[in-house]
């Protein structure tokens, strides 16, 4: 049981780090690529969530990283909208972790 508790704590920590990364990106403190690397490294979190969560996160990150290659005007989706979607993903992931603690 302590392993599940430890994994849940690590998942919560990784989710909090991702939320921090979202805010850093919003304030141009990190790049979209750096956020993508951080999110992909959150393996404990991704393993604790249903597979669909990982798929959605990776899709959003791919779009975010692609949007960083273009100016706002030439991109079909804005970084702000993608960040809003990532924040919503984090809210749902947090609820999922709380609903299924182990």
Query: Do 25 and 83 meet the contact criterion of CB atoms below 8 Å apart?
Result: yes
Query: Do 50 and 40 meet the contact criterion of CB atoms below 8 Å apart?
Result: no
Domain ranges of the chain: 2-99
pLDDT 10s per residue in the chain (102 long)? 456 779 889 999 999 999 999 999 999 999 999 999 999 999 999 999 999 999 999 999 999 988 877 755 555 568 889 999 999 999 999 999 998 765
Show the beta-strand stretches assigned E in the chain: none
Please tell me the distance from the alpha carbon of residue 91 to that of residue 11, in angstroms, as a whole number: 13
pTM for this prediction: 0.85
């Amino acid at each position: 049981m302590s392993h599940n508790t430890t994994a849940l704590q690590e998942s919560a920590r990784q989710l909090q780090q991702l939320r921090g990364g979202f805010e850093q990106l919003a304030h141009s403190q990190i790049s979209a690529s750096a956020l993508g690397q951080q999110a992909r490294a959150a393996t404990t979190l991704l393993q604790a969530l249903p597979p669909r969560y990982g798929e959605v996160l990776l899709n959003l990150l791919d779009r975010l990283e692609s949007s960083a290659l273009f100016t706002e005007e030439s991109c079909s989706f804005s970084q702000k909208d993608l960040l809003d979607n990532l924040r919503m993903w984090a809210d749902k992931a947090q609820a999922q972790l709380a609903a299924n603690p182990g």
